[in-house]
Amino acid sequence: MKKALITGITGQDGSYLAELLLDKGYEVHGVMRRSSVRTTSRIDGLLKEGRVTLHNGDLTDSSSLIRVIGEVRPDEIYNLAAQSHVGVSFDAAEYTSEVDAVGVLRILEAVRILGLGACCRIYQASTSELYGKVVTAPQNEETPFHPYSPYAVAKQYGFWIVKEYREAYGMFAVNGILFNHESERRGSEFVTRKITLAASRIANGLQDHLELGNLDSLRDWGYAKDYVECMWLMMQQAEPDDYVVATGVQHSVRDFTNWAFEEAGISLKWEGMGAEEKGFDACTGKMLVCVSDAFYRPTDVVNLWGDPTKARTRLGWDPDKTSCRELCKIMMAHDMELARNEKNAGA
């Protein structure tokens, strides 16, 4: 039986990947950091059934990583742990670098120090944020990087150190350059989930309005459940390589907002420009969406659009499985139920 170790197992992708690997017959281990509150809600089902083993550890703590990797001796490590919020990286730039840049080096070194370099494969969660201040679209594996936030700069170090260890030591280490992927398990501070939660709560009379930042920002949004399958495929190849994972279709924050409210039975009518733009309920005229400076970033990435040709042709991965519109529907079905439950609990 193959053994996998997932860092970031409590996160969105970690939880889906754990389920996928269990379905494929892996023994699944996860690294989890200490917190004063429970952070395992996404994997509680798996824990209750005793299907995954958790180990205390932290990407900022080499000795914990050496201990866990030495104990588990995994065939595959998926490094998904990160301070993953781009906006927060402007406020916690040094910590973001510790986790998202040096943390990657710590994993690679732990594997090397333990003498597992020849038998343990490593997946690194790289990101479309590396393209940052883009000059060409769509972006593929040949597109130059221009990271445009402390998060992206840290992730760029992670990308290159993985390539370096692959070439210097012949390690099987790969970068998945994943474009945005969302789900009903997405953290509520990311824009899609913030929108689906708010649209659901507004439709159920639990929230007055939604405040957003840049409505014109363009993203290539896919479904996280589909993307973890591509991570696994990259790790099963004869040779290590880096791949873009995306749907190949781009939408704006405003498009996603329209769809979410539509799913909640509300049609939005937009008026004004820039910071003055507002979304009104087309039936009642009530203002439901407005723009707030608080959600603008010092530098924002506004034109992400991936070209998944290499993943499609070499890995046989299907980028068309779930469209962004379908993704929004899935998230809204989940969040409308949450809102209804919240309303009933308060009644």
Binding site for ligand NAP (CB under 6 A): 7-8, 10-14, 31, 33, 35, 39, 58-60, 80-84, 99, 125, 127, 178, 180-181, 187
Is 270 a binder of ligand G4F (CB under 6 A)?
no
Q: Which tokens belong to 143?
A: 């597109």
Q: Which stretch binds ligand G4F (CB under 6 A): 26-34, 55-63, 213-221, 230-238?
A: 213-221
Strands 27-32 and 121-127, how do they pair? unpaired
Cβ neighbours of 47 (radius 10 Å): 14
Given a contact cutoff of 8 angstroms between Cβ atoms, the answer to whether 334 and 246 are in contact is no
40 is catalytic: no
- 121 vs 155, which CB is nearer to ligand NAP? 155
Residue 157 interaction partner, one of ligand G4F, ligand NAP, none, beta carbon < 5-8 Å per kind: none
**Dist. CA 109–CA 79, nearest whole Å:** 13
129 is catalytic: yes
For residue 89, the Cα-to-chain-centroid distance in whole angstroms is 15
Q: Which tokens belong to 341?
A: 């439950």
What binding mask, one character per residue, do residues 143-182 give for ligand G4F by CB under 6 A, x or -?
A: ------------------------------------xx--
- 107 vs 116, which CB is nearer to ligand G4F? 107
Q: Which of 151, 165, 223, 243 is catalytic?
A: 151
- 41 vs 236, which CB is nearer to ligand NAP? 41
User: Residue 319: is the preceding peptide bond cis (ω within 30°)?
Assistant: no
Q: Using alpha carbons only, what angle is made at residue 12 by residues 128 and 243, rounded to the nearest 5 degrees?
A: 30
Q: Which of 171, 182, 125 is nearest to 151 (CA)?
A: 125
**Dist. CA 143–CA 342, nearest whole Å:** 45
Q: Which of 19, 76, 98, 129 is catalytic?
A: 129
- 71 vs 189, which CB is nearer to ligand G4F? 189
Is 124 a binder of ligand G4F (CB under 6 A)?
no
127 is catalytic: yes
Is 90 a binder of ligand G4F (CB under 6 A)?
no
Given a contact cutoff of 8 angstroms between Cβ atoms, the answer to whether 302 and 316 are in contact is no
Is 251 a binder of ligand G4F (CB under 6 A)?
no
Tell me which residue has its CB nearest to ligand NAP. Answer: 11
Q: Which stretch binds ligand G4F (CB under 6 A): 3-11, 33-41, 80-88, 320-328?
A: 80-88
**Dist. CA 325–CA 323, nearest whole Å:** 5
**Cβ of residue 42: shortest distance to ligand NAP, in angstroms?**
8
Residue 83 interaction partner, one of ligand NAP, ligand G4F, none, beta carbon < 5-8 Å per kind: ligand NAP
- 55 vs 254, which CB is nearer to ligand G4F? 254
Is 247 a binder of ligand G4F (CB under 6 A)?
no
Q: State which of positions 284-323 bind ligand G4F (CB under 6 A).
A: 295, 297, 300-302, 304
* Cα within 13 Å of Cα(260), Cβ side: 30
Is 279 a binder of ligand G4F (CB under 6 A)?
no
Q: Using alpha carbons only, what angle is made at residue 17 by residues 13 and 18, rounded to the nearest 5 degrees?
A: 120
**Dist. CA 30–CA 6, nearest whole Å:** 5
Residue 87 interaction partner, one of ligand NAP, ligand G4F, none, beta carbon < 5-8 Å per kind: ligand G4F
Given a contact cutoff of 8 angstroms between Cβ atoms, the answer to whether 87 and 93 are in contact is no
Question: Residue 269 carries which DSSP code?
Answer: E
DSSP alpha helix (H) spans, the chain: 12-23, 44-48, 62-72, 86-91, 93-97, 103-113, 150-169, 191-203, 224-235, 253-263, 309-315, 324-346
**Cβ of residue 35: shortest distance to ligand NAP, in angstroms?**
5
Note the residues at the interface with ligand G4F (CB under 6 A). 84, 86-87, 127-129, 179-180, 189-191, 194, 212-214, 217, 219, 253, 295, 297, 300-302, 304
Just list the catalytic residues.
Answer: 127, 129, 151
